[in-house]
Amino acid sequence: MQKQERMFAIAGVMNYIVVVFMNAFTDLGHKIIIQNTIFKVYDGSTQIVLTAIVNALVLLPFILVFSPSGFLADKFPKNKIMEYSAAFAVIITLGITYAYYHGYFIFAFILTFLLAMQSAIYGPAKYGYIKELVGVKFLSSGNSAVQATTTVAILGGIIFYTILFEGMYDKSLMTESQILQTIAPLGWLLVIGSLIEWFLASKLPNKMIESSKRDFKLKKYMSGIYLFKNLKTVTRNREVFDAILVLSLFWSISQVVLAVFGEYAKDVLHVTNTIYVQGVMALAGIGIVTGSIMVAKLSRFYINVGLAGIGAIIITIIVFLVPFLHSMKVIAVIFTLFGVFAAFILVPLNAKIQYLAPRVHLGTVLAANNFIQNIFMFSFLSITTFFAYFGMNAELLFYFMTFVGLYLIHKLYKRYAVDMFWSLMGLFSTLRHKYIYVGLENIPQDKAVLLLGNHVSWLDWILLQLPLQRRINYMMDKDIYNWKFFHPIFKKGEAIPLSTKAFKDAFKEAHKRLKNGNVIALFPEGEITKDGKVHEFHRGYELIPKDYDGVIVPFYIDKGIFGSSFAKYRPKGSVRNLFKRRIVTIYFSKPLLIDTNVQQLHDIILQMREKYETK
């Protein structure tokens, strides 16, 4: 929590968060009113088709204004774009209120498109502003805060406007026009929300450092020249483009699930109250808030992209299970979990895109992100509408989305397999332990590092890796390296097998990797301590030639893990407590010269033990 508190102390952050909230809350309010009206008037395939059309009207502007929105976000201060977009929203919500009072359902439908147009122009500036406002250091935390805030706004909007809608609705109302005229006062709440957003957006600080030198030519926009040029800008970095594709597939799955769940609830579960239907879907929002907080904690050292793969696996399983569930209570739990693991995908991948995108093209990249995502979502909703029109039920669409989820897993595994493994290890290990790291700044980022220290448990290799974005190449006993189940993992993680017969080859390989600037870790004791003491160090690492650009960084792992099932030493009188998290502290000393001998290293580790264990 300390990191998030420091981020919120930055001038303008709280103001920005409220602006983000009001924008999502207002946009969602009108969409929910239209969707609930459709839910009350229509059934079956007609309901699915009209709901899909509403969602398509929200998506289409993001496709149409891809180039202009990116240009604006790169050319002008992002805070001003948010301010003027909010002012435009005030005008649109006044028009929506007019449509409600006169029962103009088609006009209200059209204004859904214009409100989405405002959000499409606003989007790249809103997300690009995160990096400008909080910097790279808080990029994951900033995205977590924005994702959580947006989700709370969506959740609040669903609950708030659905409850008010149901309170005003009467079963005697038969047409869309009658329903809109009855709930018309809700339009003034949309207007008030837009006014608050506009006022606060006008107070945001200008953080622009460098603007794009490009001019916008309408002819090039209409001819599609900008479209291809901007897409080419995005595809230059394959990791950015892959992240955008994964997000697009995820949002496509989500859109289809939300579009068909209303019909599924009414037809299969026999639920007709919109509060229950929207409420269950809103629980995904609570899950996203929870998941965003989890991701912020798990990404406190670097952008933890491995979480995206874990999220994709769980979400695919959930989508597959929904048709087998016939209890709203169980589905409510499932939708909450869907939200939690949705955040595992959304937060790190959005942060990664912002991190990798050049500052001068950040708006264009984020606009392309919106463009590609909405092309996918629009296409999937069109497919949903087509299948629903020809009588395909909701259950089959859930199975179809399961296959899309499998492809999503494949894409993430192909790029982030090692990251996924370490993320999984981090999740499991932190369930039982709390790790505190002291001296991480002593590990250089721009040269080779030889990590050497004491060996206290089977988890040492995990807890050393967790705070480091650079992947450690471990030197390990060859017999352990060849364990049948773990061997593919050790090989993928580029571990170096070490044995008494071929130790020279192992250190030769270590030298080669150090020459390439890698991080190598070795436990010079050779085995896990059985009595809690730091034993004699083996001299093996001294065989590594000293002609590489690097340092030795000693580490000391304290006694916090002693007595657990992962350690060989149990202090007298210690009792295992399954409900108590162990606190383990790992200390990293200042870098040493690479010619530091084994006795000097051993003395330094003992000094660290004496200094930190006697506190």
pLDDT digits (tens, 9 = 90+) for 366-376: 777 778 887 88
Residue 3 has pLDDT above 70, yes or no: no
pLDDT digits (tens, 9 = 90+) for 105-136: 888 888 888 888 888 888 888 888 888 888 87
- Residue 443 CA to residue 424 CA, distance in Å, equals 24
- Residue 491 CA to residue 488 CA, distance in Å, equals 5
Residue 178 has pLDDT above 80, yes or no: yes
pLDDT digits (tens, 9 = 90+) for 122-175: 888 888 888 888 887 788 888 888 888 887 887 788 778 888 888 888 888 878
CA 13-342-29 angle, to 5 degrees, is 65
List, as one string, the DSSP characters of 316-335. Answer: HHHHHHGGG---HHHHHHHH
Confidence of residue 225 (pLDDT cuts 50, 70, 90): low
Region 494-510: mean pLDDT is: 83
- Tell me, what's the pLDDT at 95? 94
Q: Which two tokens stand for residue 160?
A: 């708030």
Give whole-number Cα distances, 139 to 6, 323, 421, in Å: 13, 38, 23
- Tell me, what's the pLDDT at 194? 93
Region 412-420: mean pLDDT is: 90
Other Cβ atoms less than 10 A from the Cβ of 24: the count is: 24
In order of their start, the domains of the chain are 2-430 (1.20.1250.20), 439-613 (3.40.1130.10)
* Entry pTM: 0.74
- Tell me, what's the pLDDT at 217? 66
Range name among 59-73, 404-418, 469-483 with the lowest pLDDT average? 59-73
Q: CB–CB of 524/537 below 8 Å? A: yes
Dihedral angle at the C-alpha atoms of 459, 464, 465, 469, nearest 10 degrees? 160
Residue 615 has pLDDT above 60, yes or no: no
Query: For the chain, first and last CA: distance in Å?
Result: 24
Range name among 3-7, 202-206, 341-345, 555-559 with the lowest pLDDT average? 3-7
Q: Which two tokens stand for residue 196?
A: 């608050």
- Tell me, what's the pLDDT at 128? 85
Residues 6+ apart with CB under 8 A from 593: 551, 552
State which of 63-77, 336-350, 393-407, 578-592 shows the largest mean pLDDT: 336-350
Residues 6+ apart with CB under 8 A from 236: none
- Tell me, what's the pLDDT at 397? 82
Q: Which two tokens stand for residue 177?
A: 């026009």
10 Å CB burial of residue 123 (0-12, 13-18, 19+) is buried
> What is the layout of strands, in order, in the sheet containing 472-477?
433-438, 582-588, 550-557, 448-453, 519-522, 472-477, 496-498
Residue 4 has pLDDT above 50, yes or no: no
Confidence of residue 307 (pLDDT cuts 50, 70, 90): very high
- Residue 139 CA to residue 348 CA, distance in Å, equals 9
10 Å CB burial of residue 223 (0-12, 13-18, 19+) is exposed
Q: Which two tokens stand for residue 150?
A: 């947006």
- Residue 250 CA to residue 404 CA, distance in Å, equals 9
> Mean pLDDT in the chain?
84
